[in-house]
Structure 1
Amino acid sequence: MSYSLDFQPGLDWARTQDQADPLKTFRDEFCIPPHGNDAQVYLCGNSLGLQPQATRQALLDELDDWGRLAVEAHFRGRHPWMPYHSFVRDNLAGLVGAQPGEVVAMNSLSANLHLMLVSFYRPTTTRNAILLEKRAFPSDQYALQSQVRFHGHDPATALIELDGDEANGVISLDAIARALDEHGERIAVVLLPGVQYLTGQIFDLKAITALAHAKGCIVGFDLAHAVGNVPVDLHDSGCDFAVWCHYKYVNSGPGAVAGCFVHERHARSELPRFAGWWGHDQSTRFQMGPQFVPTTGADGWQLSNPPILALAPLRVSLEIFHRAGIRRLREKSLALTAYLAWAIQREVPQLIDILTPAEPQRRGSQLSLRVKGPRDAGRALFEHLSEQGIVGDWREPDVIRVAPTALYNRFDDAWTLVEAMKAFARA
């Protein structure tokens, strides 16, 4: 499969590319919100993914089994509830490049981050720092601050915030290496994103892991903006743990159950953890013994019964990803995002600065845009686009994020956005 990079302006060219797109039928599997008599141009999958058409029936099936079978649905439902989390395991592992025993769907991202830090952040007097990026998503900042304080350390000295050394806050691998050279002996955990939420920059998980492990650091990643967006190849990266959500690019609904990865080398470890009965060894779980014996692998970090009504949408979405293939989606994403960047720079260079790295391999589906001009110009453009049925995402103080998502966005959507920007610039 290949997409033309010989870009041309206009809807005719864009629609020709859409007609030739081998992934075009996946758009029909999603509910596209309306705007008047037309469909929205929905470019906000980096914030909340669209609902798959099959999700409604999947939820109705579980509700029907609950009503029809009650407790027996644990064993006799169409998708029996007792092993339900195993129904998402293989496709989830395929999506994130892991072995099935290394992943589990549970809780929320921030809850999973705390659970991972209980096990992997083991500060000592001399090694108690955590390395993160300066503009980390606030929930990560809050979680890390609270963990540091919980262990009796001061976030002012135990949190090392890595500032961008390239334009627009982009962080180079060299900057990470320099920070590890300077602070490595006192860093307990490196926690960086797979894709930075504000700039859209991709981080090289394998390279970062190698650098940090060489300094004796544990390595974890927040993949909220990476999973379903770009291949992450977690097992081969060698990282110790990772956490992510499923409501963005993985289209599993608001507040969807999240995901967690623990590398297989920790599968049978004696790491301390906060325990719950669903993480107990499956062969003896229902003997209700007083001594916790963890299940091997990521499942051993579970606390409670799987949330069936939250897992059903994830099961549906992961089946779509399994059929589409994350690497095929990445190929389309590279072309689609490059086309949007090209069109913006060609048609409205006087209006927009693109903050996301220009090199296609250093970005995912998201472009972060800053409007030139008066301070309120960005908000004005954002509201103008919304009135036209073009949905992006506003981030204070002045960033518009748009994400042409490979599963359901088109080249047509990209050109329509640029035409709306041109109209705003003329007004």
Structure 2
Amino acid sequence: MGNTFAQFFCTFCYNGKQCIRTILPNAPIAFDEKMGVFGHTNKPVPWAVGDEECVNGIAEIVGAHPSEVALANGLTVNIHVLLTAFYKPTEKRHKILLESKAFPSDHYAIESQIRLHGRKVEDSMLCLEPREGEDTLRMEDIEAYIEKHGDEIAVIFFSGIQYYTGQLFDMSRITAIGHKKGCLVGWDLAHAFANVPLALTAWDVDFACWCTYKYGSSGAGGLAGLYVNKRFANDKRERLLGWWSHKLDTRFAMTNELDLDTGANGYRISNPPAFLVTGILGFLKVYKKTSMSELRNKSLCLTGYLEFLIEHYFSDDKTSDSAVRVQIMTPKDPAQRGCQLSLKFNIDIGKVYQKLVARGCAVDKRYPHVIRVAPVHFYNSFLDVWRFVNVLRECVKEL
């Protein structure tokens, strides 16, 4: 068995061109026969710095200086990487504030970080709830809560766009309010990256992270990103470390004496996965044809059209003879949403979902009440929106 594995490994390394090209026929990174370890330095995109080839483009999308951005790991790993560095609880400040229905992985990561510091989740994790009978948080309630409890909060960690409701938070304002109370402010931008315009540096955000497999179109498990404000460029705070935290110039000297890289690069841990870098490079090639401003304008029109059709066909007076109700949970204010509209049903969404999928609609169900619909500005059209609503009407009639 050992010999078989060794033979496979060597074939992959030295004669892997046909195999790899079958998987990635148009890969922008060099995968050539008999390349082996030299792929780490061979052009056009050496494996060892493939992530850095993506940084300028990604920095533009998130509104940051390239030195503040790194591509590494997956989203939840980056949450841990950043919280390990920035969550330093004291007796006075030990709480982390998040929205009550934050993505489960955010909850789990924050809970584990609190426990790792020897504290109790029920004492140190604050989950901000919408008002009774409402689905989304009001900005004035967020501000009032931070103003009242800010002296106890070490970190505010919100989602840029709430995954369930589709609500886009005022990141600039929340960051400023948090800083005024002495809190560090970080953002999970999983649903905001490449969805809405971002200006992390201008907003003076402390840290942020995101995945790229949603609006970044890199595929499930695609390479994630992180942002660290330039104020911390030379900060030596304790963090998770690995050899990719070490400066490139001396990384391969193998002295076992860390020469910590500056900026966001110092928060990387391991070498970049070349296959995952190709997805980012492909996405950026498409992005160069447009801009976040143009994409945002199209997105506002697409979601506005979707909202109009939903309200036209599913308002109470149009469905008075039906037991099925469809409401838009996402805020009506276009400034408080991105590509996504969350449709709230009063019936089993599993049945609605099955009928939609059977008719070729790629939507997402989130129990207990929501089906998420996202006309994506990169590739969806007004015709797509119109066809979806007509399919939804058919499904509702059947139910």
Q: CA distance change for structure 1 residues 263 and 58 in 2, over 3 Å: closer, same or farther?
A: farther
Once the two structures are TM-superposed, the CA of residue 62 in structure 1 deviates from its matched residue by 4.2
**Paired amino acid for 1:414:** V
**Paired amino acid for 2:392:** M
Instruction: Report 1:236-255 matches (<5 A).
Output: 236-255=202-221
| Secondary structure class of the residue paired with 2:193 | coil
**Paired amino acid for 1:341:** E
Assess if the C-alpha contact under 8 Å between 1:168 and 1:199 holds in 2.
Answer: no
Verify: 1:326 aligned to 2:292, yes or no: yes
The whole-number CA distance in structure 2 between the counterparts of 1:57 and 1:88 is 20
**Paired amino acid for 1:221:** W
Q: CA distance change for structure 1 residues 90 and 327 in 2, over 3 Å: closer, same or farther?
A: same
Aligned to 1:57, which of 25, 29, 32? 25
Segment drifting more, 218-227 vs 288-297: 288-297
Higher relative contact order (CA 8 A, sep 6+): 1
The whole-number CA distance in structure 1 between the counterparts of 2:41 and 2:79 is 31
Deviation per CA, 1:118-173, whole angstroms, max 9, x where unpaired? Answer: 11000001110000000010000000001101111111111111011386421122
Deviation per CA, 1:184-238, whole angstroms, max 9, x where unpaired? Answer: 1110000001000000000111111100001100010000000011011111111
Once the two structures are TM-superposed, the CA of residue 278 in structure 1 deviates from its matched residue by 1.0
Verify: 1:126 aligned to 2:92, yes or no: yes
TM-score, length of structure 1 as denominator length: 0.83
The whole-number CA distance in structure 2 between the counterparts of 1:379 and 1:168 is 23
Deviation per CA, 1:232-279, whole angstroms, max 9, x where unpaired? Answer: 111111111001101111000110110000011101112111111111
Deviation per CA, 1:379-413, whole angstroms, max 9, x where unpaired? Answer: 22221111111110011112100100011101011
Segment drifting more, 158-167 vs 415-424: 158-167
Runs of 4+ in structure 1 deviating by more than 6 angstroms, as ranges, are none
**Paired amino acid for 2:157:** L
Verify: 1:379 aligned to 2:345, yes or no: no
User: 1:41 aligns to what?
Assistant: none
Assess if the C-alpha contact under 8 Å between 2:30 and 2:45 holds in 1.
Answer: no
The whole-number CA distance in structure 1 between the counterparts of 2:50 and 2:113 is 32
Q: CA distance change for structure 1 residues 163 and 88 in 2, over 3 Å: closer, same or farther?
A: same
| Secondary structure class of the residue paired with 1:412 | helix
Verify: 1:74 aligned to 2:40, yes or no: yes
**Paired amino acid for 1:263:** N
Verify: 1:156 aligned to 2:127, yes or no: no
The whole-number CA distance in structure 2 between the counterparts of 1:105 and 1:72 is 22
Deviation per CA, 1:39-98, whole angstroms, max 9, x where unpaired? Answer: xxxxxxxxxxxxxxxx94343x64732x33111122223312232112101000011111
The whole-number CA distance in structure 1 between the counterparts of 2:251 and 2:339 is 42
User: 1:234 aligns to what?
Assistant: 200
The whole-number CA distance in structure 2 between the counterparts of 1:102 and 1:400 is 35
Which ranges in structure 1 are unaligned for 5 or more consecutive residues?
Answer: 1-54
Assess if the C-alpha contact under 8 Å between 2:299 and 2:338 holds in 1.
Answer: yes
Q: CA distance change for structure 1 residues 422 and 293 in 2, over 3 Å: closer, same or farther?
A: same
The whole-number CA distance in structure 1 between the counterparts of 2:251 and 2:31 is 28
User: 1:216 aligns to what?
Assistant: 182
Aligned to 2:161, which of 195, 198, 208? 195
User: 2:258 aligns to what?
Assistant: 292
Verify: 1:100 aligned to 2:100, yes or no: no
The whole-number CA distance in structure 2 between the counterparts of 1:279 and 1:290 is 12
Verify: 1:170 aligned to 2:141, yes or no: no
User: 2:243 aligns to what?
Assistant: 277
The whole-number CA distance in structure 1 between the counterparts of 2:140 and 2:260 is 39
Assess if the C-alpha contact under 8 Å between 1:266 and 1:297 holds in 2.
Answer: yes
The whole-number CA distance in structure 1 between the counterparts of 2:38 and 2:312 is 61
Segment drifting more, 193-202 vs 322-331: 322-331
The whole-number CA distance in structure 2 between the counterparts of 1:365 and 1:212 is 27
| Secondary structure class of the residue paired with 2:98 | strand
Assess if the C-alpha contact under 8 Å between 1:348 and 1:421 holds in 2.
Answer: no
The whole-number CA distance in structure 1 between the counterparts of 2:233 and 2:381 is 42
Aligned to 1:352, which of 323, 326, 337? 326
Once the two structures are TM-superposed, the CA of residue 425 in structure 1 deviates from its matched residue by 3.2
| Secondary structure class of the residue paired with 2:252 | helix
**Paired amino acid for 2:388:** L
**Paired amino acid for 1:206:** S
Deviation per CA, 1:334-375, whole angstroms, max 9, x where unpaired? Answer: 000010010010012233110000111110000100123xx3
The whole-number CA distance in structure 2 between the counterparts of 1:278 and 1:380 is 48
| Secondary structure class of the residue paired with 1:368 | strand
Segment drifting more, 201-210 vs 378-387: 378-387
Deviation per CA, 1:278-323, whole angstroms, max 9, x where unpaired? Answer: 1112222122222222111101111111111111111110221232
User: 2:19 aligns to what?
Assistant: none
TM-score, length of structure 2 as denominator length: 0.89
The whole-number CA distance in structure 2 between the counterparts of 1:168 and 1:388 is 32
How many residue pairs get aligned? The number is 368
The whole-number CA distance in structure 1 between the counterparts of 2:26 and 2:65 is 26
Identity %: 39
| Secondary structure class of the residue paired with 2:201 | helix
**Paired amino acid for 2:25:** Q
The whole-number CA distance in structure 1 between the counterparts of 2:24 and 2:254 is 36
The whole-number CA distance in structure 2 between the counterparts of 1:398 and 1:63 is 46
RMSD: 1.5
Q: CA distance change for structure 1 residues 424 and 84 in 2, over 3 Å: closer, same or farther?
A: closer
User: 1:368 aligns to what?
Assistant: 342
